[in-house]
Amino acid sequence: MASVYRPQIAPQMTSGALPTANPDSFGAGIGDAIAGIGMDIGQRAVREARMEAERKRDIDVSQAMAGLATLRGELDAADNEARMTARAGAPGHAAAMGQLFDERAAALLDSIGDPDVRARFAPQIAAARASFVSEADAFERGQTVRATVDNVGVAGNAFANRAARAATPEALQTEIDGFTASINALSLDGRTKAELTRQYRQQAVAGWVGNRPPEQIGPLLASGAFDAELTPQQQDALRNGADVEIRRRELAAQAEARAAAAAAKEEIDQLQREAADGIPIDPARLDRARANAATYGFTGDAYDMAKLAVKDALNREFRSATPLQIEQRLRALNGQIAQAGERAEPAWIIARDHLQSMLGARTTQVDNDPQAFGAALGIQYEPIDLSNRSSVGRRVAAARATAEATGRPPVYLSPQEVTQIQADMDTPTGRRQALATAQAFMGVDPQAVRQVATQLAPNDELFIHAAGLPGQVGGQVLEGRSLIGNSYTAPRALDAGLQQAIGAAMALMPPQSRNNVLAAARSLYAYHASRDNVPDTAESRVDPARALRMLHLATGATTRSDGQRQGGIGNWEGQPVLLNPRLTQREFESRMASLRTTGLFMRDGTEISGEMLRTNYLPVMQADGRYRFRDRRGGFAVLQNGRVGAIDLQRLGR
């Protein structure tokens, strides 16, 4: 209700004037005043209601504003969290954010009671939604592009690596064209497509050029074929990389060559050391060493390897050869060299010198341990049982087989066996055992006895001679020797008496054999004199019969079952002669008497008959048991060819 204007100062009454007559004078003014008061109260109520409504709207508006602000904060937080956990490309992010905004905005509008306020805020919420969803959509589209670019990056790297391995420029271009078509098919903007195509095309070309052999990279870049693809900086990097790789390879090759040369030199030196030690050389290693010596310019080593090849071939060829076989080859080679003269090949000279060295070494090897050499040839040597004749026989057979293979005299005991026996030979028992060892061969091969005795006592001629004497005689010789000068004093005339008794019977024997017989007879004389208690002194007279009997024993004479002596000192026309160990005096005379034609001649060519031989010549036995015939002037009967002849009287009676 509109208020009524009232003046603030009442009009003044004039003095002495009478009040005028009007409605107010009759109470009308009071009614108007009451009516004015009523109107004023109504207007105030309306105003207060309007003010309350405005207050409520202000509250709704302020709450809506606060709600909208809170909504934006919460939605921004939700958007940020969704972005952090979004999958690659953030698919559906904008739609999810729009749905979330709508749900939260509807709740906000529902909380506003005043329709006018809802109506007023609806446009603001719509504007806020548009802004919010637009930002979410921009993020989603950005993430989609980013995911696409990332995928293109994976595919681009694979393409670039594959293209870099292309065998030819044509194959490279095919890869590039395929990748470019794939990029163009993407829903990316043209600028992005162009940049991706350029980036990975450049990467592929750079990789392809970089994968070429270093020596090809410089010419490829210099041709200008890749100027459109590669920047100057990339070309410089590729060119520098190629130069570095070329230098690295050169240095590596030089280092490798030095290492290979050093390894080759070491192998050559090792081969020479092994060859010097007698180790067989693998032909493949030797061929490699010769090739390396030529490759690396080892002139001296090349000659040494060629020389070693000749030697190694000879070592292989003559690995099991006997000294005789080596000597035969050596003689043939010497003849070949002599015939060729100055045209003789160096390899022949090397072979000759090596064969000469091999001959000496092989001879020493065979001499030192022929059994080991024989075993290497496959000849079986078993431990010997001296009490078993068959065992001794097998040892003799093995020694003979080795001797036949080597061309050397047979050796019956091994160095180990000899050493074992010699260890006790300083004692009487040991000497008797050694003698028994040698004599164990007597029944199998009498010729082996002397060889075995020589092995056991190489410097004791009397021991060697005693071993070849039959029965107990050898032991008596050794015991008699130990008596002389100790318990027995030999007559001074003993040696002269023995020499007189033997006369010229051993004229054809080696001087040492004659000395051995005399020494054995002297020892036997001492043994029997001591056994028979003969009190000899230095001045004693020598018993001729005893001396002759000792000479019989010392020359190996034996007594047959019929009591006849065979071997020893015999007699021919009053002269002492040495009898063949298988002949008695009677058999000797009988066979001499049976000679009619002799096959022997005088020096002037006159044939010697049996009668002439018996009358004018003295039979003298030589070491093999045959007899030569010496005339009174000291000359010998000869064969028709002029060489000294001999007759085997033992075989003559068979």
Q: How far is CA 586 from CA 515, 551, 589, 591, 630, in A?
A: 27, 19, 5, 9, 21
For residue 618, give every residue at least 6 positions away whose Cβ sits within 8 Å of its Cβ, in sequence order, or none. Answer: 504, 572, 573, 575, 577, 629, 630, 631
∠69-75-79 over CA atoms, to 5°? 145
The DSSP annotation for 35-87 comes to HHHHHHHHHHHHHHHHHHHHHHHHHHHHHHHHHHHHHHHHHHHHHHHHHHTPP
Largest Cα–Cα separation, the chain: 243
- Pair type for strands 575-584 and 597-601: unpaired
Torsion of CA 612, 613, 618, 624, to 10 degrees: 170
Which of the residue ranges 92-96, 149-153, 209-213, 474-478 would you say has the lowest mean pLDDT? 149-153
Question: Of 4-18, 275-289, 292-306, 517-531, which has the strongest mean pLDDT?
Answer: 517-531
Q: How confident is the model at residue 492 (pLDDT cuts 50, 70, 90)?
A: confident
Rounded CA separation 205/329 (Å): 73
Closest by Cα among 372, 434, 437 to 398: 372
The string of pLDDT tens digits covering residues 287-339 is: 898 888 888 888 888 888 888 888 888 888 888 788 888 889 999 999 999 99
**So what's the pLDDT on residue 3?**
38
Instruction: Decide: 508 and 628 in contact? Cβ < 8 Å.
Output: yes
For residue 180, give every residue at least 6 positions away whose Cβ sits within 8 Å of its Cβ, in sequence order, or none. Answer: 197, 201
Instruction: Decide: 593 and 470 in contact? Cβ < 8 Å.
Output: no
**So what's the pLDDT on residue 6?**
41
Which of the residue ranges 13-17, 63-67, 299-303, 366-370 would you say has the lowest mean pLDDT? 13-17
Residue ranges of domains in the chain: 55-211, 479-556, 561-653
Q: Which two tokens stand for residue 442?
A: 């007597």
For residue 157, give every residue at least 6 positions away whose Cβ sits within 8 Å of its Cβ, in sequence order, or none. Answer: 200, 203
Burial class of residue 31 in the structure, from the number of CB atoms within 10 Å of its CB (0-12 exposed, 13-18 middle, 19+ buried) = exposed
The string of pLDDT tens digits covering residues 137-173 is: 777 676 666 666 666 666 667 766 777 777 787 777 7
Give the side-chain half-sphere CA count within 13 A for 142: 8
Rounded CA separation 289/301 (Å): 9
